[in-house]
Each structure stands twice: as C-alpha cells, then as structure tokens.
C-alpha cells in the first residue's frame, strides 16, 4: 500500500504526523514484542496504528528499544566516537555497532555539535594523539562546510599524484606510457 502526498493511504486511512502519544508507543512496543523487528510497513495493517513504516522504525530504533541508553555520553564513549570518526569518517551506523545502546542519530548529533563548538572556539576537531586515517592517500585541503539545516561536513581532498617522467625508448618497437600507475603499450609507428 502506498501513500499519496496528503498522507492518505490507498485504503483511506489518514496517516498521522507529529509527536507520538503514549498509546501509540504502547501499540508499537507490543507489536515489536510479539512479532519482532522488521517489516515495518505491516504494522499499520496489524495494529491500525496510523503511522507510516518509516516513522515506526525510527520511533522504535531511536526511542523505544529496551537497550537504549538515555543518558549523556560518558567520557569513554566520547573518546570512542572521536577515534571512530578519525578512522571511518561519517559512518554513523557502523559507529553505532561499536557503542552498544547508542543510535546512529545521537552519535551524529554529538559529532555535529562537537564540530560546531570546536569550530566556534577555533580548536582542532581531533586531540593531538588522534590522527584521522579516513583516506589512505595524503590530503592537501580540509574544510568544514555547513548545510542549510546547520549540519557540518568535513571535506578531505586527496593530494594530486606526483608527475610521472616521460619514458623514451629509442630504437624500440613500442612506446610505453605510465598513466596513473597503469602500463599502456601501443605499437610504434616507426620501424627500427
């Protein structure tokens, strides 16, 4: 069943938007307890919960899951986020697998807040003992950009490869050119 742009499903049910009620939370929690996580679009059929599947999935993952930590990040968790970001960049879901009870969304929010605060204070993103290894190639330019919603991105541009000297082989039946570490051989137009 698909939804149209007005939030009305094909079967006529109007999908609700906005804050969740305690009753809706209870319906969703009971459904997941009985049926397990997954197949989020079937919830409205089985519970008559007037929410789309995506809304149900996000509500469960970010608010209702029993193993969620609902306290501020510990200093150890903050350090782990900084180390993980230095290693893998903005891979929030992968980071969440390393921090039990934490969601990708709250890790992303923590990081973006840190970037904003450190940028405002003129401080580096990483402490001196943590070095970003996001790219395997050297970087030449780093910048922080802001999107219209206030989120931040760290941009790293790879350094250009060093120029390759031309290869000249006199009296040869072929000419070899090195282009980006690839050897290309073509027949010579000049006989020896």
- Same domain? 26 vs 85: no
- Same domain? 101 vs 186: yes
Domain residues for the domain of 39 are: 1-66
How far apart, in whole angstroms, are the C-alpha atoms of residue 102 and residue 69? 6
Instruction: Average the pLDDT over 136-150 and give the result.
Output: 49
Instruction: Average the pLDDT over 29-40 and give the result.
Output: 90
- pTM passes above 0.85: no
Q: Do the beta carbons of residue 90 and residue 153 sit within 8 Å?
A: yes
Q: What is the pLDDT of residues 50-87, one digit of tens each?
A: 999 899 999 998 899 988 898 999 999 999 999 999 99
CATH of residue 80's domain is 1.10.10.60
Would you say how long the chain is, in residues?
Answer: 192
How far apart, in whole angstroms, are the C-alpha atoms of residue 34 and residue 142? 49
How far apart, in whole angstroms, are the C-alpha atoms of residue 187 and residue 148? 55
Q: Do the beta carbons of residue 131 and residue 86 sit within 8 Å?
A: yes
């Amino acid at each position: 069943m698909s939804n149209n742009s007005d939030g009305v499903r094909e079967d006529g049910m109007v999908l609700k938007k906005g804050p969740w009620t305690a009753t809706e939370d209870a319906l969703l929690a009971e459904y997941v307890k009985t049926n397990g996580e997954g197949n989020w679009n079937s919830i409205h059929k089985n519970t008559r919960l007037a929410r789309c599947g995506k809304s149900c999935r996000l509500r469960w993952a970010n608010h209702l899951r029993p193993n969620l930590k609902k306290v501020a990040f510990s200093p150890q968790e903050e350090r782990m986020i900084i180390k993980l970001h230095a290693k893998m960049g903005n891979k929030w879901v992968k980071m969440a697998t390393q921090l039990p009870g934490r969601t990708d969304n709250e890790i992303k929010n923590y990081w973006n807040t840190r970037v904003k605060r450190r940028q405002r204070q003129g401080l580096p993103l990483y402490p001196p003992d943590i070095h970003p290894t996001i790219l395997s190639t050297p970087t030449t330019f780093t910048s922080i950009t802001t999107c219209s919603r206030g989120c931040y991105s760290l941009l790293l541009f790879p350094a250009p490869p060093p120029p390759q000297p031309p290869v000249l082989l006199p009296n040869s039946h072929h000419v070899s050119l090195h282009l980006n570490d690839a050897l290309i051989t073509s027949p010579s137009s000049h006989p020896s």
